[in-house]
Structure 1
Amino acid sequence: MDALMPALAAVLGLAVGSFLNVVIHRVPRAESLLRPGSHCPHCRTAIRPWQNVPVLSWLALRGRCAACREPISARYPLVELATAVLFAAVAARFGAAPELPAYLYLAAVAVALSMIDFDVHRLPDAIVLPSYAVGALLLAPAAVTGADWAAALRGLAAMAVLFAFYFALALVHPGGMGFGDVKLAGLLGLYLGWLGWSAVVVGTFAAFLLGGLAGAALLATGRAGRKTAMPFGPAMLAGALLALFAAGPIAAWYGGLLAPGA
């Protein structure tokens, strides 16, 4: 049973990842997610069901459209695989806990928003804002069944704290922090606060650390200049996921550095 839950979550992640490819492409363009159906981006030919099996169809078609033979980006199966891996990891982290659906949703949102921010340097309100309600609704059963109202209140408090913190940063340094990041910060605060204040601190610190390291790497390789705008959303989401899986050990390690004799 311990291995079955991550395996099932991985299969679900493949299917969700396939849908996320549609979200990543269409939401920034304000296009419908339902119509038209999946089609080749080059010749617009509709993709048949057997050609739309996550990862396997791309491999069977050798990365090319069945109709026009134009290449189809490897990013499509990579998004599906990344979602599957994240879903499996989240399922292994939470098991059959009632908050599992909420954190699976967070993993899916993390993949979609990261790719969109890389592509267009935006975190669409169409995804971020509804996710506040979805996250709260998915966490509510865990609060009710586990009578864990302290976690729920902590999540709401952390949501307000991170929103206010990022809002202040955006006012002080508007060129370096967008209001899309501010809105995302509140959502991440809700999820991290549920886990504990150590997760909030680790996730926030990791976001700035990872963002700084990524920026330094781009500068060092000449792929960006000092005035190049770089998306911060992916670093925020990566920091939150790092805290999701490792906030406890990281906080304990850092506490040991501060008080080695304790």
Structure 2
Amino acid sequence: MTGGLEYALIAVAALWGAAVGALLPRAAHRFAVPAGEEWRSACPQGHPLAGWLGPARCRACRETPYGTGAGTASGTGEGAADDTGAGPAYGAGAAVPVTVTALVCAALAAATGTRPELAVWLLLAPAGVLLATVDFRVQRLPDPLTLPFAATALALLGLTALVPEHAGEWTTALLGALALGAGYFVLFLINPAGMGFGDVKLALGAGAVLGWYGWPTVLLGTLAGFLCGALYGGALVVARKAGRKTSIPFGPFLISGAFTGLLIGAYTA
């Protein structure tokens, strides 16, 4: 791949990531509820939320006060309406998901090049960012995201295996999903307090994308995830923000490890 084409591909992937990342805040707000509770269906003022994708803003709140002490349509700060008519914000802004998703997609494009599986990675990346965001907020990995993530990964990779110039194997992707899911299930049985069942379901999708590039990539991505989780937990203990028995969300590190393994696997394929 020539330099000009490579840079153009990376730029397009980054723009795609930024555009899709801007649609994640509403979904993150709706999914980020503690285990056992239903997904949010209304803004903090009680107005029904329309759809799952888009900015975390409520049009119906534009002419009404936004909660106790919050801004109004003419106020400032969080909860204040902007000039777009979208209404005041009721959740986190789009800057973080836009930036993270754009960087992830750009890195995937740089590592994968023009091989057809890049389309699969670009479609799955926003879901990974959303899952990590929700798990960090409430330590929950929603079934409507984890299970479709695994199924979609296997289905898309199955189609990609029919396209010339791909660099992976669908059979290994399927076996990787089963193997990593089984491994996490064993860890869940051994220590349910330390490994949630949502992690087991997420491992199915992570194993699929890692398995596409072979067993060394599965091993590398798995080890990277545990290493990232251990470093994060250790840093919290050293900073005295957590104890040795403090529960931390593992989903973001499982995803980070899969991302690391996928980058290396794509680059070396």
Give the structure-2-normalised TM-score: 0.77
Between stretches 224-233 and 190-199, larger displacement belongs to: 224-233
Per the TM alignment, residue 184 of structure 1 is displaced from its structure 2 partner at its CA by: 0.6
Per the TM alignment, residue 12 of structure 1 is displaced from its structure 2 partner at its CA by: 1.2
- Give the AA of the match of 1:194: W
Q: 1:127 to 1:37 in 2, by over 3 A?
A: closer
What is the rounded CA distance, in whole Å, between the counterparts of 1:226 and 1:119 in structure 2? 20
What is the rounded CA distance, in whole Å, between the counterparts of 1:107 and 1:37 in structure 2? 17
Q: Give the secondary-structure state (helix, strand or coil) at the position aligned to 2:20.
A: helix
What is the rounded CA distance, in whole Å, between the counterparts of 1:36 and 1:160 in structure 2? 31
Query: Which structure 2 residue ranges, 5 or more long, are not aligned?
Result: 33-38, 42-48, 64-75
Give the paired residue count.
Answer: 236
Say whether 1:128 aligns with 2:132: no
Contact 1:192 1:199 in 2 (8 A): yes
Say whether 1:195 aligns with 2:213: yes
Contact 2:225 2:255 in 1 (8 A): yes
Q: 1:45 to 1:97 in 2, by over 3 A?
A: farther
What is the rounded CA distance, in whole Å, between the counterparts of 1:100 and 1:33 in structure 2? 31
Q: Give the secondary-structure state (helix, strand or coil) at the position aligned to 1:195.
A: coil
Q: Deviations over 1:223-255 (max 9, x none)?
A: 1122321000011011111111225899xxxxx
Q: 1:155 to 1:39 in 2, by over 3 A?
A: closer
- Give the AA of the match of 2:21: G
Indicate the RMSD between aligned Cα atoms, in angstroms.
3.1
What is the rounded CA distance, in whole Å, between the counterparts of 1:207 and 1:33 in structure 2? 35
Give runs of aligned pairs for residues 131-210 of structure 1, distance below 5 A: 131-146=149-164, 151-210=169-228
Query: Which structure 1 residue ranges, 5 or more long, are not aligned?
Result: 47-60, 251-262
Q: Deviations over 1:34-54 (max 9, x none)?
A: 1797563698339xxxxxxxx
Aligned match of 1:53? none
Choose from 31, 40, 48 the match for 2:57.
40
Give runs of aligned pairs for residues 50-69 of structure 1, distance below 5 A: 65-66=81-82
Choose from 114, 118, 123 the match for 1:105.
123
Q: Give the secondary-structure state (helix, strand or coil) at the position aligned to 1:103.
A: helix
Contact 1:99 1:141 in 2 (8 A): no
Per the TM alignment, residue 71 of structure 1 is displaced from its structure 2 partner at its CA by: 7.9
Aligned match of 2:24? 20
Contact 1:193 1:200 in 2 (8 A): yes
Q: 1:171 to 1:14 in 2, by over 3 A?
A: same
Per the TM alignment, residue 181 of structure 1 is displaced from its structure 2 partner at its CA by: 0.4
Q: 1:83 to 1:149 in 2, by over 3 A?
A: closer
Q: Give the secondary-structure state (helix, strand or coil) at the position aligned to 2:246.
A: coil
Q: Give the secondary-structure state (helix, strand or coil) at the position aligned to 1:154.
A: helix
Q: Deviations over 1:50-99 (max 9, x none)?
A: xxxxxxxxxxx998642799788775212101111111111122222211
Give the structure-1-normalised TM-score: 0.79
Aligned match of 2:133? 115
Per the TM alignment, residue 147 of structure 1 is displaced from its structure 2 partner at its CA by: 8.2
Q: Deviations over 1:130-179 (max 9, x none)?
A: 11221122212321123879710001111111111110110011111010
- Give the AA of the match of 2:62: T
Q: 1:71 to 1:182 in 2, by over 3 A?
A: closer
Per the TM alignment, residue 117 of structure 1 is displaced from its structure 2 partner at its CA by: 0.2
Contact 1:18 1:76 in 2 (8 A): yes
- Give the AA of the match of 1:90: L
Choose from 96, 100, 115 the match for 1:78.
96
What is the rounded CA distance, in whole Å, between the counterparts of 2:141 and 2:179 in structure 1? 20
What is the rounded CA distance, in whole Å, between the counterparts of 2:162 and 2:208 in structure 1? 17
Contact 2:58 2:89 in 1 (8 A): no
Per the TM alignment, residue 9 of structure 1 is displaced from its structure 2 partner at its CA by: 1.2
What is the rounded CA distance, in whole Å, between the counterparts of 1:40 and 1:148 in structure 2? 41
What is the rounded CA distance, in whole Å, between the counterparts of 2:207 and 2:228 in structure 1? 18
Aligned match of 1:260? none
Contact 2:29 2:56 in 1 (8 A): no
Q: Structure 1 or 2: larger helix share?
A: 1
Between stretches 25-34 and 113-122, larger displacement belongs to: 25-34
Aligned match of 1:90? 108
